[in-house]
Structure formats: C-alpha cells, structure tokens
Structure 1
Amino acid sequence: MTFVARCHYQTCRLIDRILLSQSQQQSLGDRLRCCCYSSSSSLINKARGYSSVNCHRYKTRLIMALNKLSIDKVDLTGKRVLIRVDFNVPMKEGKITNTQRIVAALDTVKYALEKKAKSVVLMSHLGRPDGSKNLKYTMKPVADELKTLLGKDIQFLDDCVGPAVEAACADPAPGTIILLENLRFHVEEEGKGVGPDGAKIKADKDKVTEFRASLRKLGDVYINDAFGTAHRAHSSMMGDGFDIRASGFLLKKELQYFAKALDNPEKPFLAILGGAKVADKIQLINNLLDKVNEMIIGGGMAYTFLKISKNMKIGTSLYDEEGAKIVNELLAKAQKNNVQIHLPVDFVTAEKFAEDAAVGAADVETGIPDGWMGLDVGPKTRELFAEPIKRAKVIVWNGPAGVFEFENFSKGTKSLMDNVVEATKRGATTIIGGGDTATCAAKWKTEDQVSHVSTGGGASLELLEGKVLPGVAALSPA
C-alpha cells in the first residue's frame, strides 16, 4: 500500500472512533467511515472493501452534506433557541483583547430575537481548562462584552448543565439572553481531560449521555454557529436529542463558500498551498489534485518538493523527511490529472531564522548555500505566481508563501494577497483558509477585499481534505 493510501486508511480508522452518540453513529456511520476523503489510489478503496463506484457515491454524499438547514428556514417564534457559538476569544489578565469572534455571532443572535424567540441561550468553550473548573477561563468577561455589543442585559449562569441551569432556562421571560459558563469545565464536553494529579482522564460514557441530556433541556431548537469547532465531535456540537438542528449565519456562510470549491467549482480552479511540512498537507494536496486545474506550492514545504523533484540544494531550509517519501507520488498524480504545479524559482534567504537576519538571494539553478535558509520566495516567483491567479475563477488559499511575520520575508505572501484581492475584483471567488492565512488577511486589512475568510483553521483544512466534519454532519438537511 502506498504511503498516501496508508495515511488515508489510518484516518478512516480514527474517524471510526470519534465520540458520537449511538443514534448519530447509525445515521453518520457510512459517511464518517467511508474512504471518500481521497481517491489517491484504488488501494485505499480495496483496503476498506469499497469499489470506485461506491467511493464516488460517498463523495457525492460528502458534497450533499454541506447543504444543511439554516436558522432563517426555522420558525423561532416563542421557541427557546440554544446556540452553540465560538466565543473562544483571546484573553490577557482577565480582559478580552480581540472581540472578533463575539461580533461574528451577533447576526445570528439578533435574528433569533427579531423573530420573537422566547429566549436565546448561548454556549461556548474558552481556552483549555481540560475538564475542570478553572476561573481563569470563565465566560463572565464575555457576558460583559455581549451586554455592551448588544445593548441588552445578559443573564450569566455559573454552570452549563445541571438542575439549576435547567430551571433557569425552563421558562424565561420573552427576549431573555442567557450565557452559560464554559462548556469545557466539564470533562464530558470533549470526552477527555486532565485530572487533579495531572494524569489524562476519559469521560464516563453514561455521564456524557447525562451531560448531553441536560443540554437538550435548555432549548427547543438547536443552532450551531461554531465552525471553528465543527471538526470536533464534542457534546455541544452534536445537538443530541433535538428534532431541529440548524446552522447559524456564520456557519451557513462557511458551508456556502466551501461548497463553491468542493461542488463543481468554476474553472480554472486554483489552489495556493503553503505551510512547513508536506506530511501535514498530504490529504489536502491529494484531495485537491482531484479538483483543481492549477496548484501553487510555496512556504516551507516547497523546499522538500524542489529537493526531490529538481535535486536542488536547499541549505538549512526546512526539509520534511517523511513528506519527501511521497513527493514523487503527488507529482505523478498531478501529471495524470493534468494539474499544473507551480513551484518557486527564486528565493529570499537568511543566515538565521530571525527578523534581523542578513538577507540573501538564491535560485533553483544555483541552490541555497550551506548555512543559509529560504524564508520567502523571490521577485521572479512573485511574477510567476501572479499568472495562474489572473486566470483563476475560483481560488482556495491555505498557507503563506514565506515567513510573513518578518518584514524582510513578507513580500512573497503580500504579493499573493495583492493578486488574490485583484482577482476578487475581477469576479473570482476567493476563499482564504483559517489559521496563518487568515492572520495575513488581518495584518494587511484585506478581510473585506476577498470573497471569504474562514473562521476555522482546523475545520477548513479538514473540509478541504475531503473529511466529513462531525458538527456539520449532525445538522438537519436543508
């Protein structure tokens, strides 16, 4: 079995073990267990006992799985609306330093209130308290910020489950907004945690059931607006017991834009991929090679591709030993699928990994000398990468071209951003994955100049890899 096939087979096995309720395992089992994450090799299908026809059918199901019921299609009048939001905001000394995630959820909250919902109950995690009550991670500062942003009173509860919480949410006054305490104060939310002695612990299955049953009593309708956690099968993400499980506006937007990339995208379709390790992006590259017309590969992993495919000297640049094993396989697949791969041809180099490092230049022919490392692409590469961006109708970008945090090594990524913004103006659909690429958009204030900047780093990556996101799969179909 090829290295790529092994990786996908192992991923399938891991998905099998995601913590889901019995009913959800039955309803999601086929989609979560199937090997449609990639068609890199018929060996993957044989390993799981699926034919290529079955794999195609599962791929179709995956795409259909993005078409979910949304809040604007649900009657909320007089209903208690339980909303899973992502209020995992950065904190410093007990104060919120960036309110973006709170602001992003306001449209969904306001809509529920406008549609005469009896109450809106908000639940979220904050930080990593590892299943115990640590007031460093209390949601109380979020409640105060919500009151300021909404101009309405917020009822803050000091727990998220249990008899007292259930009583407070049972029959609130019309228009009440309730914020629950941190979901991750309970080990039953993630299914695992850390005990008082520092040892890892696993949640008791029966107590997980009780936890989810208590959440079920807090609302009549379940809304999920936490895309950033959609790749986690956590208790609050599954909507156990609710007849109606819909997306909020934030999650709806995420699904709509990723559907444009995953469901018969306009051509030419371009993927721009960066990041340090090829091994970390195997599934992403492999899945997108079945969909895109062209692919730009930059960032640290470009040096692994160039060393293997061009025998280029890369000095002390990042080199991924594990990823190197499958570079030729990925390039062969690209050739078979008529996908044009664009690799850097010149580089901005440094003699150390630091902002004040001495700056040099190199190209593929001469290579990068010993003791030097590539930290960005050079001017010829910036021009080269601009051409496929001009041609593209759909662009998905995940990963910077260089160390954009250092001014001397940011020009390659900034050039990509400028060209993607121009492509958006020309009518292309441009989607920026979360994580570092979203940070780039924030740094250069281009969030409103591209079609979509995803709010979920890990979730967007897994979606592009072809995986089913448990938090999305759990929602009712449209």
Structure 2
Amino acid sequence: MDKLTIRDVDVAGKTVLVRVDFNVPMKDNGTVITDDNRIVAALPTINYLLEHNPKAVVLFSHLGKIKTEEDKAKNNMAVVAPRLAELLGRDVKFVNATRGPELEDAIKNAENGQVILVQNTRYEKGETKNDPELGKYWASLGDVFVEDAFGSVHRAHASTVGIPTNLHPAVAGFLLEKEIAYIGKAVSDPERPLVAILGGSKVSSKIGVIENLLKVADKVIIGGGMMFTFWKAKGLEVGNSLVEEDKVELAKEYLEKGADKLVLPVDAVVNNAFAAEGDIKTVEGNVPEGYMGLDIGPKSIELIKENLAGAKTVIWNGPMGVFEMEPFAKGTLAVCEMLANMPDANTIIGGGDSAAAVKQLGFADKVSHISTGGGASLEYMEGKVLPGIAAVDDK
C-alpha cells in the first residue's frame, strides 16, 4: 500500500484524532445498539494506538442522517460510549459537544491515553459540506490524524477530508489498510481468474461497477432484481418483475460489450405477489403475466457454480433474490455456500445487503473479507478515487 499507516508514526505523548465508523444500527429510538460490528472493527486500530502511549485518542464518527431535532435525539453518539468502554476494557469519556470549551478542555486535560468519544459529527451542519473552517478547527485539536472509517471515505466531509487537509501526519488505520488491501488489490491487481457476482435490485446503482468490472474481471455474473432489466433487454417477458425501463438500452449495450464475459440467470423463482406465500414456481426464460421474479432458479445456481470453478478472486455485491423471505433465499444461500467452499480463493463481500446476508446465513467466518462499507466498496470497485483515502499521506 502506498499510503502511510499508523505503523509509520510515533504517537507517544500526542493527541491522536481518529475518524472511525460508529454508524451502528439501533432500535428503541436510538437507545439500543442492534449490531456492534462497526465498533468491533475499529478495535485493532484503537488498541494499537493505546499500546503506544498517546496523550489521548479522540474518536470522531457520524451516526445516521441529521435533518431535524428529532434526528439529533435518536442519533446521539452517547449510546456508543458504554459499549466501546466494555469492548476496550477501559474508561471512555463521552463529550456531548462537537466544538467549544467542553471538547477543548476534555482534550487539553486528557492524560495516559484517555479515550474520548466526540458527539455525532453530523450535529455540525458544515460536516457534510466539508466546511473548511470546521475541518481546520477539528484539525487544531490534535497532533496526528488516523483515517479508519472505510464506510465513509467515499464522502468528502469535514471529518474525513477536512481534518487531514489541515493536519499531518494523516495516516491509515488497520481497517482502512485491510479494505485497501482486499478490495483495491481485487480490482487493480487480482489473482486470476477474477469473477464478480453482482446482485441487488437496481442496475442504476451498479452502472459504474458493471462497466469497470467488465473491463477488469474474467466473468461478471448478474443476479437479483436487476437481472430482469437484462432479461427485458434480451426481449424476454418479465411480468410484474422489477424493471428499470430507462436502463433497458444500457443493458443491451452491456450485453453486446460483455459478450461471453457477462453471465445472466437462465431461470427465476416467481410469485403472483410480493410475499412469502402465493403461487410460487420456477420459470425459464419468460415470467408469466401477473407474476414477479423474486430469486434466481436452480439452473442459474448451477450456472454460477460452473463459472466459479477455478476462480482465484471472487467479489460479491448484492443478494440474488429477496433473501429476507425464506422461499426466495435459495439463490443467495447457494452463493454463500459456494464462496464458503472456496478455501484457495480470495473471497470478498462488498458490504451492504450481501454482507448482511453472509452474516445472517452464518457464513461470515468462511469468506476472506467482508467489507464494512457498502457505498465505499461499490465506488472503489468502479475504480474511483475515494476522497478520504486520497487525503491520507502518501509514503
């Protein structure tokens, strides 16, 4: 990796500002964390810093979207502090402010590696606009900046780009380093054959990814709801299936460009309602009127298996069907099983719904890497320069 990492800096006696991703899912109006994976993912970086005797480790993160006072109340970062303290086995000081004397005094008076968690960065209106004054202010609070929020590096915000613009050294934490190592290498320098599996509902959210992967992958397998936009482009009947009419021409282009690289499902599991009950059946080629496709069929599963044979790198983003409903989870489950049984391949799950599926279906420890950032990993796979990574100092 051509970026500086936390191994390259001396943090002894210094105040280290760390951008983490504590955007955790919650329930009961923001009082209960339902999944602490993102907190756990930040621990290696925080623990490493603490072992190297900093004055303080100051953690910045956003949580949810903030548009109203109600959003503020239910996305209060205070809920994270006790869970983080439990995981670290040490005190975490929560500062209920994003600027001003309370925050400044907490940092000034910190000692012996005090961990300080700052209130939700999005409480500041200037955060999402990368307000130069805000980035400069936050940068003035520390001596070293560590970028470790892969889930946010595709956004040019004050906490991801503004701080490192004004504070050096700006280095990568272990989580960011790992994401760059897996996803970056998979796209720019993969062990071949490289097979990409793209699911999910919409072609529009994956346009850049399909385009880029058709250039770099040996096979691109399409599944999920977006397969029906491709079926329609081939002249097949799609019934009531999800189709993006304005993307049918584009799908035709990809079919021509992709030729033998692009692999489409050959059958689908359909139903006469968007529900777990109804007249569920498997069809080949055309979806009957009044029915909608909700999963790939058994022949498509076999086709994916054939195309994965011998693959050395596999990137998967997006489920194969509506896996939340048991009758339409078979395609997604089959892909999970295939990847779990490829010990010699580098298997990468690109965050989002496919990451949720892998965890929910119990295969999390059977794949090489599950990305912590859905949007970021998609943009990375598009070959885009991500602003938060660009802001980290080069070696």
When the two structures are superposed, what TM-score results if normalisation uses the length of structure 1?
0.79
Aligned to 1:109: 46
Q: CA deviation at 1:329?
A: 1.4
Aligned to 1:63: none
Structure-to-structure mapping, 1:124-163, within 5 angstroms = 124-130=61-67, 134-163=72-101
Alpha-carbon distance between aligned partners in 2 of 1:214 and 1:162, rounded to the nearest angstrom: 10
Asked whether the 8 Å contact 1:123–1:160 carries over to 2, the reply is no
Aligned to 1:232: 155
Aligned to 2:5: 70
Q: CA deviation at 1:277?
A: 2.1
Q: CA deviation at 1:264?
A: 2.2
* CA shift digits 1:75-112 (9 cap, x unpaired): 11121111011111122221222211111111111100
Alpha-carbon distance between aligned partners in 2 of 1:268 and 1:212, rounded to the nearest angstrom: 43
Aligned to 2:324: 405
Structure-to-structure mapping, 1:377-416, within 5 angstroms = 377-416=296-335
Partner amino acid, structure 2, of 1:229: S
Q: CA deviation at 1:398?
A: 0.9
Report SS of the residue matched to 2:341: helix
Aligned to 1:87: 22
Question: Is residue 248 from structure 1 mapped to residue 173 from structure 2 by the alignment?
Answer: yes
Asked whether the 8 Å contact 1:277–1:323 carries over to 2, the reply is no
Report SS of the residue matched to 1:391: coil
Alpha-carbon distance between aligned partners in 2 of 1:397 and 1:141, rounded to the nearest angstrom: 32
Aligned to 1:168: 106
Alpha-carbon distance between aligned partners in 2 of 1:308 and 1:174, rounded to the nearest angstrom: 63
Alpha-carbon distance between aligned partners in 2 of 1:92 and 1:384, rounded to the nearest angstrom: 40
Asked whether the 8 Å contact 1:400–1:413 carries over to 2, the reply is yes
Aligned to 2:132: 209
Aligned to 1:14: none
Question: Is residue 218 from structure 1 mapped to residue 141 from structure 2 by the alignment?
Answer: yes
Root-mean-square deviation (CA, aligned residues, Å) is 1.6
Asked whether the 8 Å contact 2:196–2:220 carries over to 1, the reply is yes
Q: CA deviation at 1:131?
A: 7.7
* Mean CA deviation greater in 167-176 or 80-89: 167-176
Partner amino acid, structure 2, of 1:380: K
**Count of matched residue positions in the alignment of Structure 1 and Structure 2:** 390
In structure 2, the gaps of 5 or more residues are none
Report SS of the residue matched to 1:272: strand
Alpha-carbon distance between aligned partners in 2 of 1:465 and 1:131, rounded to the nearest angstrom: 33
* CA shift digits 1:147-196 (9 cap, x unpaired): 211121111111122233223213521221111111111101112xxxxx
Sequence identity percentage: 46
Q: CA deviation at 1:361?
A: 1.6
Alpha-carbon distance between aligned partners in 2 of 1:445 and 1:120, rounded to the nearest angstrom: 34
In structure 1, the gaps of 5 or more residues are 1-65, 192-204
Q: CA deviation at 1:269?
A: 0.9
Q: CA deviation at 1:448?
A: 1.4
When the two structures are superposed, what TM-score results if normalisation uses the length of structure 2?
0.95
Aligned to 1:334: 258
Asked whether the 8 Å contact 2:214–2:261 carries over to 1, the reply is no
* Mean CA deviation greater in 429-438 or 146-155: 146-155
Asked whether the 8 Å contact 2:196–2:314 carries over to 1, the reply is yes
Change (3 A) 1:230 1:131: farther
Asked whether the 8 Å contact 2:146–2:173 carries over to 1, the reply is yes
Question: Is residue 322 from structure 1 mapped to residue 246 from structure 2 by the alignment?
Answer: yes
